[in-house]
């Protein structure tokens, strides 16, 4: 679904992402992808700014927001894995979250050595994502001198 170019970060989150997050919190599956040509605003939409957070920070803060219905100690935990895909070939890790590594399977795809890190709050999750994004490869394209040519998966 396309969103207007003048939509606010909050509007995009509420309309496109919030329903997926609420489903996720009730153990339903979902997926969201940001697609578009270089320079179209994908990074801004996902990350936003400190004053106007994008969909990822809003999602992380919602996931870790205390839920009164669950009581003081929720019985759930969350893990993060981050990897890149280049040219739709085998996945490549952005970075090792911890030494060693194990195989991670998602349906029929396996990424050897992909790490899962358990996170306990939005700040920790944002820190891991920020570290991974700093390690993404960049390349020059005709439209953008710092294009992120690989696709990052969280």
From CA 63, how far away is CA 68, in angstroms rounded? 13
List strand residue ranges (DSSP E) for the chain, in order: 78-80, 83-85, 92-93, 104-106, 109-111, 117-119, 151-153
8 A C-beta contact, residue 52 and residue 9: yes
Binding site for ATP: which residues? 36-43
**Binding site per annotation, positions:** 36-43
User: What's the CA gap between 139 and 41, in Å, rounded?
Assistant: 17
CB contact at 8 A, 9 and 54 = yes
Query: Three-state DSSP class for 104?
Result: strand
Own/partner long-range contacts of 46-52 (Cβ < 8 Å, ≥24 apart): 47/133, 48/9, 52/8, 52/9
């Amino acid at each position: 679904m396309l969103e207007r170019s003048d939509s606010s970060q909050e509007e995009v989150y509420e309309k496109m992402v919030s329903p997926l997050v609420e489903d996720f919190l009730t153990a339903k599956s979902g997926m969201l992808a940001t697609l578009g040509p270089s320079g179209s605003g994908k990074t801004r939409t996902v990350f936003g700014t400190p004053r106007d957070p994008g969909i990822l920070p809003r999602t992380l803060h919602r996931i870790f927001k205390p839920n009164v219905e669950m009581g003081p100690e929720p019985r759930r935990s969350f893990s993060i894995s981050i990897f890149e895909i280049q040219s739709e070939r085998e996945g490549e890790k952005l970075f090792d979250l911890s030494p060693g590594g194990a195989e991670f399977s998602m349906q029929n795809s396996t990424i050897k050595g992909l790490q899962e890190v358990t996170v306990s709050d939005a700040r920790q999750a944002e820190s891991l994502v920020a570290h991974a994004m700093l390690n993404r490869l960049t390349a020059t394209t005709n439209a953008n001198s710092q294009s992120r040519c690989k696709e990052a998966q969280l």
